[in-house]
Amino acid sequence: MDTNVQKRRENKKSLRVKVISLGNAEVGKSCIIKRYCEKRFVPKYLATIGIDYGVTKVQVRDREIKVNIFDMAGHPFFYEVRNEFYKDSQGVILVYDVGLRESFDALDSWLTEMKQEMGSQANMENIIFVVCANKVDLTKRRVVDESEGRLWAESRGFHYFETSAQSGEGINEMFQAFFSSITDMCENGGKRPTPEVSVGFTKEQADTIRRIRSSKDSWDMLGVKPGATREEVNKAYRKLAVLLHPDKCVAPGSEDAFKAVVNARTSLLKNINEESFRTPT
Ligand code: GTP
Ligand code: MG
């Protein structure tokens, strides 16, 4: 075959992509990358200073992908260094530590920082995000459960993986899904293809589960004022039951949310009954 034709074909099959890692300091970003690229784990914490850069080659279907990895420092001190590196990313690895709630809560502010730094380029539709719920090997200290993390990720159209850089759990699966989605996106002209299977739940369902999880008492959970009547409680319950019934809702955490709503209604109605017995007629 003409060598030029052969070269052109090879070029067509090879891709260059840029990915970045984001998340609070010490959540395990560098260790996840090291586990994948070097197949090893370093227990000692060596904070990334500003940025670490590395290149790896991976094969996705018939394409060779050259991946430029920019591993960001999570510490706020390095903001001035890392803010240069957000632009032109095709993929983002968002990491939190399942044993540190603040690292999970911080995911929103990492997205905000990214959007801000990308400026007019900030089209999140053209970036593949993968969320790593990391350090799952440390089961006893876990405070953010799978359904909560999965809900956060999947309601935004992001991949979700439970990972441990220490044991290697989930790491290869996560990178394979990540690179495969990035390749699909590049083959689709740089736009995230519409997923073949939709997430299967609505934003309203996701928001309701989150609200139920953070409610302070049974009144709050059902969304009624303290002292509401039986009818008001039942009406609010029915609305939530239709939204969250396990036959209707596949959002992560919906089953627990549904059970919590049933329990809240039972305890409120019990109190309303007892009070009405006590009230002289
Ligand atoms: P910065 O570079 O400061 O932003 O931190 P980082 O997110 O890159 O964290 P790093 O990968 O350096 O890991 C921080 C600490 O957590 C190190 O002591 C690691 O050994 C430990 N660590 C990382 N991943 C895991 C894991 O999956 N399980 C356990 N048990 N420890 C982990
Ligand atoms: Mg690091």
Using CA atoms, how far residue 262 sits from 25, 193, 271, in Å, is: 40, 39, 14
Cα 132 to the center of its chain, rounded Å: 7
Which of 21, 22, 26 best tests ligand 1's pocket when mutated (most atoms within 8 Å of CB)?
A: 26
Tell me what the pLDDT averaged over the chain comes to.
Answer: 90
Tokens 């070097």, located at residue: 38
Query: What is the identity of the amino acid at 232?
Result: E
Name the residue with higher pLDDT: 10 or 76: 76
According to the model, what pLDDT value does residue 201 have?
A: 87
Per-residue pLDDT, averaged over 239-257, amounts to 91
Angle, CA of 86, 77 and 47, to the nearest 5°: 85
Q: Which band of pLDDT confidence, cut at 50, 70 and 90, is reported for residue 14?
A: confident
Instruction: Measure the CA–CA gap between 60 and 29, rounded to whole angstroms.
Output: 23
Of the chain, the percentage scoring pLDDT greater than 90 comes to 75
Q: Which distant-in-sequence residues (6+ apart) come within 8 Å of 70 by Cβ?
A: 18, 19, 20, 21, 51, 52, 53, 85, 89
Q: Which distant-in-sequence residues (6+ apart) come within 8 Å of 27 by Cβ?
A: 74, 95, 96, 97, 100, 103, 134, 135
What would the two tokens of residue 196 be? 């073949």
Give the distance (Å) from ligand 2 centre to CA of residue 21: 9
Complex ipTM value: 0.99
Q: Which atom of ligand 1 lies closest to the CA of 33?
A: 11
Name the residue with higher pLDDT: 118 or 219: 219
Instruction: Measure the CA–CA gap between 197 and 242, rounded to whole angstroms.
Output: 23
| 5 pLDDT above the threshold of 90 | no
Q: Whose CA is nearest to atom 26 of ligand 1?
A: 135
Q: Please tell me the number of the ligand nearest to residue 23's CA.
A: 1
According to the model, what pLDDT value does residue 240 have?
A: 95
Give the distance (Å) from ligand 2 centre to CA of residue 68: 16
Give the distance (Å) from ligand 1 centre to CA of residue 258: 36
Q: What is the per-residue pLDDT across 24-43, written as a single tens digit (0 to 9) for each? A: 999 999 999 999 999 999 99
According to the model, what pLDDT value does residue 2 have?
A: 60
Q: What is the per-residue pLDDT across 251-281, written as a single tens digit (0 to 9) for each? A: 999 999 999 999 999 999 998 866 655 555 4
Instruction: Measure the CA–CA gap between 12 and 14, rounded to whole angstroms.
Output: 6
Q: Is 103 in the pocket of ligand 1 (CB under 6 A)?
A: no
Instruction: Measure the CA–CA gap between 26 and 30, rounded to whole angstroms.
Output: 9
Residue 191 has, within 13 A of its CA and on its CB side, a CA count of 5
According to the model, what pLDDT value does residue 122 have?
A: 67
Nearest CA-CA partner of 74 in 158, 146, 134, 148: 134
Q: Whose CA is nearest to atom 28 of ligand 1?
A: 135
- What's the whole-model pTM score? 0.83
Q: Is 253 in the pocket of ligand 1 (CB under 6 A)?
A: no
Q: Is 75 in the pocket of ligand 1 (CB under 6 A)?
A: yes
Instruction: Measure the CA–CA gap between 164 and 172, rounded to whole angstroms.
Output: 11
Q: Which band of pLDDT confidence, cut at 50, 70 and 90, is reported for residue 6?
A: low
Instruction: Measure the CA–CA gap between 181 and 125, rounded to whole angstroms.
Output: 13
63-77, 180-194, 206-220: the lowest-pLDDT one: 180-194
Q: Whose CA is nearest to atom 17 of ligand 1?
A: 45
Q: Which band of pLDDT confidence, cut at 50, 70 and 90, is reported for residue 56?
A: very high
Q: What is the per-residue pLDDT across 143-156, written as a single tens digit (0 to 9) for each? A: 999 999 999 999 99
Q: Whose CA is nearest to atom 22 of ligand 1?
A: 28
